[in-house]
Amino acid sequence: MPVQTVDDTEVDLGLGLGHPWKVLLYNDDWHSFDEVVFQVQKATGYSLERAEQITHEAHATGRAVAYAGEKEACKRVAAVLREIRLQVEIDE
């Protein structure tokens, strides 16, 4: 399946893009692909396809933007991802 990467300068299409805050998800060797996909869906509300794209990007490149939006929304998303000890960072 081809991976769609999202440029941070794209227009916000309801996915939280174009905001200054983002949640970076880092690859690790402790979680299965399916665990990460499920947690990304739980944290963001994204579709299975979008969560798989994010997870694949993190796996292939070492990190991926899991979510972009307002600071408080990013904090909530990061907290859910951290529930299973995924390594995430909020960046401006």
Max CA-CA distance within the chain?
Answer: 34
Provide the H-helix boundaries in 1-92: 33-44, 48-61, 71-82
How many of the other CB atoms lie within 10 Å of CB of 25? 27
Q: pLDDT at position 47, please?
A: 98
Sequential pLDDT tens for the chain (92 residues): 443 334 333 334 445 456 789 999 999 999 999 999 999 999 999 999 999 999 999 999 999 999 999 999 999 999 999 999 999 999 99
Q: How far is CA 70 from CA 1, 64, 67, in A?
A: 30, 18, 10
Supply the pLDDT for residue 13: 40
DSSP state of 20: S
How far from 91 is each of 29, 37, 70, CA to CA, in Å? 23, 21, 11
Residue with tokens 């916000």: 12
pTM of the model: 0.79
